[in-house]
Amino acid sequence: MSVAIKKVVAAVIEKNGAFLIAKRKKNAVLSGKWEFPGGKLEPGESAAAGLKRELLEEFAVSARIGKFICSVRCEHDGVPIELSAFRASFDPGELSLRAHEQVLWVPLNELSDHDLLDADKEIVNHLAGS
């Protein structure tokens, strides 16, 4: 019996040569890990709509979703995951941390210095190669 692939989206948000990463809260799955913000798609939801919703829920920002960057397949606890990364932007202002304990703006060459989720490491590799 095969397990359905969980569809997940991530926002690659760049400002002044630095990328936004967020640290998962202590009580979250994979707590303490850094990631590009995003989350799981709801049934029937498009990637762009889901990512826009996730950014609103996590940071209280109205984001604009841009070009597709790459897709990464991985597995967590036996569940196959497909993570699709998109460029995204939002108007400057305060981020409200609702789902993370911290955010950082990090230059591309320093992203791998942080304890990123495995799938997010693949996104960094893609960004470094493009």
Looking at residue 1, its pLDDT comes to 55
Residue 77 has pLDDT above 90, yes or no: no
CA distance 17 to 95: 19
Residue 120 has pLDDT above 90, yes or no: yes
CA distance 107 to 78: 33
Domain assignment of residue 16, yes or no: yes
Q: What is the CATH number of the domain that holds 52?
A: 3.90.79.10
pLDDT more than 70, % of the chain: 98
Domain assignment of residue 23, yes or no: yes
Tokens matching residue 54: 């996730």
Domain assignment of residue 1, yes or no: no
Q: Which has the closest alpha carbon to 99: 46, 48, 60? A: 60
Q: Provide the 10 A C-beta neighbour count for residue 54.
A: 23
- Over residues 28-56, the pLDDT tens digits come to 777 899 999 999 999 999 999 999 999 99
Count of domains in the chain? 1
Average pLDDT of the chain is 93
Predicted TM-score (pTM) of the model is 0.92
Looking at residue 49, its pLDDT comes to 97
Domain assignment of residue 100, yes or no: yes
Once rounded to an integer, what is the mean pLDDT over residues 70-80? 90
125 is in which domain, residue-wise? 6-129
